[in-house]
Copies of this chain bind each other. A is one copy, B any other.
Amino acid sequence: MSSTPKRTESSFRRIAVIGLGAMGGSFARAATAATSAEVVGWSPDPDERLSAVEAEAVAAAPERWSEAVAGADLVMLAIPLGPTCKMMAELASTLEPAAVVADVASLKGPVAEAAAEAGLTRRWVGCHPMAGVAESGFAASSPTLYDGATVWITNDPEAEDAADRMRTLWTRFGATPQQADPHEHDRMIAFVSALPQLTANALATTLAEAGIGPEQLGSGGSDMTRLATSSPDIWIDILSALPEDLVVGLRLLGKTVNDLARAVEGGDMQEVREAMVRSATWKAGS
């Protein structure tokens, strides 16, 4: 898990990482450690640019993003979903003719649309590494963040060559690329990420309304509300762009909770037991 990948020849000569937070900073560190490419970075925050250069995560971090992108044959966008989509149009006129554009945003449907609108479909490879850290910013980055992680890859058939190069790069970082249709991917994220997130928020809200303090929780209750501190800014960005599957998931969850309430109220412990056994069987993966 923590071994640093060996430095090998990369099919990219110059990699520009736009955004030097935990995700982008980790990508830059991994690319510097695992490839022979020149890695440059950009962040809107001057301190973050300085930190990335001092940590030797990047060879340079110019003040303007266009300077980082100039000459790059891979531009990796490691910024939130909204800015990622917005930047596609700006990049189209700035990119080197043969450059690949990739991103690590949590949803792929909206980025695929933005890439298409910008005429970048053949050059865009959507990536979603299932890795993260609780803290944010370059200080939370690590060269091994992606080691052992699944990375969802989504691309048009016309971008297959570019996708192949990206899969090779992620593999060098110790990650496991997996292909996904952008809309199937986003439906899955609605269930595996957004629904657990809002469940934690709903449980925390309920406990707050009942007058329970977080310090009263045991380890189970603490785990169940840990996500309550996730950034509303990042999540609203994602929730706004999620397909209606999240609503389907929330309604299904609401119904399940209300069914349990009815069973407990009516003393129907057989129904509660069956629900517990069903969920234990699922979690055990059998």
Bound Cα distance A197, B279 (Å):
11
Please encode chain A, from 237 to 277, with 1 for each CB lying within 8 Å of some chain B CB and 0 for all others.
Answer: 00110101111111111101110110011010100110111
Bound Cα distance A221, B29 (Å):
27
Q: Given contacts A213-B285, A224-B227, A269-B239, is CB(A257)–CB(B130) below 8 Å? A: no
A204 contacts which of B209, B215, B258, B279 (Cβ < 8 Å)? B279
Query: What residues of chain B lie closer than 8 Å to A229, measured between beta carbons?
Result: 280, 283-284
- State how many copies of this chain the complex holds: 2
Select from chain B the residue with minimum beta-carbon distance to A261. B250
Q: Given contacts A221-B192, A276-B232, is CB(A199)–CB(B199) below 8 Å? A: yes
Q: Is A207 an interface residue (CB 8 A)?
A: yes
Query: What residues of chain B lie closer than 8 Å to A227, measured between beta carbons?
Result: 220, 223-224
- Helix, strand, loop or mixed for chain A's interface? helix
Bound Cα distance A215, B282 (Å):
10
Bound Cα distance A252, B216 (Å):
19
Q: Is A8 an interface residue (CB 8 A)?
A: no
Bound Cα distance A254, B252 (Å):
10
Q: Taking the nearest CB of chain B, how far is it from the CB of A194, in angstroms?
A: 9
Residues A192 and B218 in contact, CB atoms below 8 Å apart: yes
Residues A265 and B247 in contact, CB atoms below 8 Å apart: yes
Residues A193 and B205 in contact, CB atoms below 8 Å apart: no
Q: Is A212 an interface residue (CB 8 A)?
A: yes
Residues A219 and B132 in contact, CB atoms below 8 Å apart: yes
Q: Given contacts A210-B249, A247-B265, A249-B210, is CB(A260)–CB(B198) below 8 Å? A: yes
- Count of interface residues, chain A, beta-carbon cutoff 8 Å: 79
Query: What residues of chain B lie closer than 8 Å to A191, measured between beta carbons?
Result: 207, 210, 212
Query: What residues of chain B lie closer than 8 Å to A284, measured between beta carbons?
Result: 214, 229
Q: Given contacts A196-B221, A203-B196, A220-B196, is CB(A257)–CB(B253) below 8 Å? A: yes
Query: What residues of chain B lie closer than 8 Å to A226, measured between beta carbons?
Result: 220, 223, 283
Bound Cα distance A247, B131 (Å):
36
A254 contacts which of B204, B212, B261 (Cβ < 8 Å)? B261
Query: What residues of chain B lie closer than 8 Å to A70, measured between beta carbons?
Result: none
Q: Given contacts A204-B279, A283-B204, is CB(A247)–CB(B264) below 8 Å? A: yes
User: Other CB < 8 Å A-B pairs besides A196-B220, A214-B282, 14 of them?
Assistant: A191-B212, A195-B203, A198-B272, A202-B257, A204-B280, A205-B275, A205-B278, A206-B249, A206-B252, A208-B279, A214-B285, A228-B280, A244-B265, A250-B257
Selected A-B contacts with CB under 8 Å, 7 pairs: A199-B224, A201-B276, A203-B253, A208-B278, A214-B285, A223-B226, A232-B280
